[in-house]
Structure formats: structure tokens, C-alpha cells
Amino acid sequence: MVLITLRNIRKNYRADNLETAALADVSLEIDAGEFVAVMGPSGCGKSTLLNVVGMIDSPSSGDYFFCGENVAPWPESRLVELRKRNLGFVFQSFNLIEDLTVYENIELPLLYQNTPRAQRKARVREVLELVDLLPRARHKPAQLSGGQQQRVAVARAVVTDPKLILADEPTGNLDTRNGEEVMGMLDILNQQGATVLMVTHSHEHAARARRIVTMVDGRIASQKHVPARAGAVEAASA
């Protein structure tokens, strides 16, 4: 089933009478359950593509179908509802809220969905166990290592059981070991049915995806399907 369809998406930025095309006629389809990596040089529009797909930025023109609905013209108030129920985000710089504890950071999306208290509590515990951070529930982000913070970010991204996980260079600020851990989690989530769209500079991490989309100058230059890696899941869980 096709989850996402982008048709002729353009995204322009205007500064002092100069217009720059961050995305130029991008068309792309992503099936439900796919793991897609987006690569390309700096400034090619990878993050912009991710932002548009993640509905946190709106295209200048073109159509964006999510689950068959064209959401491109939707106002922010409708997008926020769609976003919070269907999408999860993982950022390079974690973007945890400093004033909140680990538990509260993960709980936040459920609060915005008005999830009842008992249900929230159970679900947060579940994902804390999933990322192996239950003992750190009361800690603040500043008290965690980079890898731990990113695990919290991953936990927060999946706590609402989203259809689509968007990861913008999730391992960019991590060392190799922690990066592997995070990639392993994304693998598992994908195995469990979540669609993953990941921006990365790392060829090694991109190879974990099923399809690699390469962008240059705001356009999709190429798309390549990656054969499944044998033992990939076992390696991630080790």
C-alpha cells in the first residue's frame, strides 16, 4: 500500500528578492512498511524533503498525498492533528525539552493526544523498557549521554505508535557504538511495521535501508533498491 506520494513538489525560499529552490519538482512514492534513506551533498534539499514529508514545512507547489489524502493545502491546525497521530520524529540534535524529565519527554506526545493517565503511564513504561532507560526515567536530558538522549528521542518518536518515523541524521551526533544502537532500534521498528524515512550522510547506515534516494540540487538524482542484509536484525539486537 502506498503511504506517501509526492508529485512535482517544489519548495522555494525567498530572501531579499532572491528566490532559491530547495526542492524542484520532486516526485516520490513510499510504501507502507518501507525503510527509505535519503542521501546527498549538503544543501541538496534532504532535510527540506524530510520536513515537507513530516508536514512541518509546507511545499510551495505540488501535491502531497498521505494515506491517499492530499495534505499539501491543509492548514497547520489540521496538519498538527495528522502529525501527532501518524508521525514520529528523530533529530540529529535530539531536541529533547530540557525542563522535562526523560519520562515527561516521552509522555508529551500522549498528553497532546489527550490519552488517559493510566494508559499513558503504561505506554511510557513500555517504551522506556524498549530503549532500556527505565532506571533513568526521572533524569533530565542534561544528565544523559548523547546516546541515551537519542534513545529517549527514539522512544518519544514511537510512543504514539506512528505509521511513519522520520529521522534526520539520527546518528550524526553519536559515536559508532551509539549510532549502531540507534540504527538497530530503527531496524526493529521497521520490522514491526513502521515506515522509516531517514536522512543520512553515512553510506553504512543508508545500506540498512531498503531503498536509497539520492538528491542533488533539490532534485532526486537516483533511487536504488538495496538487497536485504543477512543477519541485519541479529546484528542490531546484539
Partner 1 sequence: MLKHYITQALRSFWRFRVTALVNLVGLSLALVCFIATYLFLDSLLKGGDGEFKNASRIYALTQELWTTPTSRMIPAFPMAAPGTAKYLRADLPGVEAVARAASRGEIAAATEDRSGYVFAVVADPDFLKIFEFETVEGDLHDALASVHSAVLTEGAAMRLFGTTSVVGRSLLLQNNIQVTVTAVIHPPPASAHMGENPKALLRFDVLLPMDFLKLSPGGFTDNPDAEEWGNDSYWTYVLLPADGSVTVSQLRETLRTFPERHIPKDQMLSVFGAIPLERVNLEMLEAGAGNGGVQLTTAPFLLDALILAIACLNYANLTVAVATTRAREIGMRKVLGAGQPHLVRQYLLEAALLGTAALVLVLAGTAVAVPAINRMLGLEFHLAALLHPQLWALVGGVLAFISLAGGAYPALVLARVRPVDALRSASLRAGPRFVPTVLVGIQFAAASFLLAVALLMSVQNHLMQRLALHPDRDPVVAIGNNIHEFGGTFENLRNELLRDSRIKDVSAVFGIPWQMGGPHQHIRRSPSSASVSIAMLNFTTYDLFQTLGLRILAGRDFDRGHSDPIFDWNPNAVPGVPSVLIDRALLRELGWTRPEQAVDQTIYIASPWDPSVPDRPLHVLGVVDNGFPRIVGPNSDSNVYVLSPMGTVTPLVRISRDDIPGALAHIDAVWKELVPKAPVRRYFMDELFNQAYQTYANISAALTSLCAFAFVIAVMGLIGMAVHVTSRRLREIGIRKTLGASARGVVMMLLRDFSKPVLIANVIAWPFAFLAGRMYFELFTQRATMTPWPFVTSLAITVAVAWLAVGAQAMRAAAVKPAVVLHAE
Told to check if 108 binds partner 1 by CB under 8 A, we report: yes
To partner 1, the closest distance from the beta carbon of 56 in angstroms equals 4
Give, as ranges, the residues between 17 and 76 that touch partner 1 (CB under 8 A). Answer: 51, 54, 56-57, 76
Buried (b) or exposed (e) across 125-134, using 16+ Cβ within 10 A? eebbebbebe
Binding mask 109-148 for partner 1 (x = CB under 8 A): x-xxxx----------------------------------
Q: Is 98 in the site for partner 1 (CB under 8 A)?
A: yes
Count residues near partner 1 (CB under 8 A): 28
Q: How far is the CB of 219 from partner 1 (least distance, A)?
A: 20
Helix ranges (H only) for the chain are 46-53, 76-86, 102-112, 117-130, 146-158, 176-191, 203-206, 232-237
Distance CA 127, CA 108 (A): 13
Most distant pair of Cα atoms in the chain: their distance: 54
Report the C-alpha gap between 37 and 200 in whole angstroms. 7
How far apart are alpha carbons 225 and 212 in whole angstroms?
6
For partner 1, the closer of residues 104 and 161 by Cβ is: 104
Report the residue number, 98 or 234, with the smaller CB distance to partner 1: 98
Residue ranges in contact with partner 1 by CB under 8 A: 51, 54, 56-57, 76-77, 80-81, 83-85, 89, 91, 95-100, 104, 108-109, 111-114, 156, 160
